[in-house]
Amino acid sequence: MKHHLPQPILGRFIRAIIEFDMIQNGDRILVGLSGGKDSLFLTYALSVLKEIAPINFAVGAFTLDPLFTDNFDPAPLVDFCAGLDIPYGTGQADIAGIIHNNQDKDPCFTCAFFRRGAVNNYAKQHGYNKVALAHHHDDAVETFYMGLLYAGHLKTFTPVTYLSRTGLTVIRPLVYFREQEIRNTISLHGMTPIASPCPLNGKTKRQEIKEHIAALEQTNPAFYAHLAAAMRGGKPAELWPGELDRYELKAKHDAFWQKN
């Protein structure tokens, strides 16, 4: 069965892949498929690209059961991937138990850390050299803004990230899609997204940031666009120099008094 995407959507998807050199001939790409709207669209879009691209690459999908519930059912995802003719695998990790036993740590960080580890391990074990994650443009902008507000740095995830410890490369082909656009793609692949089993879904710091940005856009409609522009490299910047450590500062202090 031949699948397709409307040209404006396919064109934006391909733009990110070409601009950031995400896919090369012979790649074996594993999609982290949660069953949510974003990863479903990513899986479908990669399957479409695989059929029309001038290079050869393979696509597979993997779903991790974090044991937040006791009724995980991968059957809909099995059928979805079978319809796209891509291999599919599942695994388990007791992330729920880890979070429960480490309540002094940020649960979102803990969950993301162990999810990444499980996906990467599966990729290595099954001969994949790249992992595709379904982070979209809103995710990148929210991460950038969270870093500024909560960590005091200007940083977000990159479209392509090489993991030197594993030899894997992480790609994020949805970086030019807004979240609302992805919601509107459900009719294209026909798969109803699976609700997140996370007990904190909708109650996280990221959700607060999402709502904060939306509120600021009410008074400044360009607020999101300005954040997005600020996170791109090559923009003119006038920032203070990096803070000196105690030894560097002492050396400058001694040099000043010796000159005077």
Domain boundaries, the chain: 7-256
pLDDT at 219: 96
% residues pLDDT > 70 (the chain): 95
Q: Give percent of the chain above pLDDT 90.
A: 72
* For residues 24-40, average pLDDT: 97
What rounded mean pLDDT belongs to the chain?
A: 91
Q: How far is CA 209 from CA 52, 164, 228, in A?
A: 38, 31, 14
DSSP state of 185: T
Distance CA 78, CA 194 (A): 13
Does residue 191 have a pLDDT over 70? yes
Q: What pLDDT score does 1 carry?
A: 53
Cβ of 230: how many Cβ atoms within 10 Å?
14
Q: Does the pLDDT value for residue 173 go beyond 90?
A: yes
CATH code of the domain occupying 7-256: 3.40.50.620
Contact 12, 170 (CB under 8 A): no
Predicted pLDDT of residue 202: 64
pLDDT-derived band at 112 (thresholds 50, 70, 90) equals confident
What pLDDT, on the 0 to 100 scale, is given for residue 181?
A: 94
Least confident of 72-81, 97-106, 109-118, 173-182: 97-106
The more confident residue out of 215 and 95 is 215
Output phi, psi for 249, to 5 deg: -65, -40
Alpha carbons 233 and 223: distance in angstroms, whole number: 18
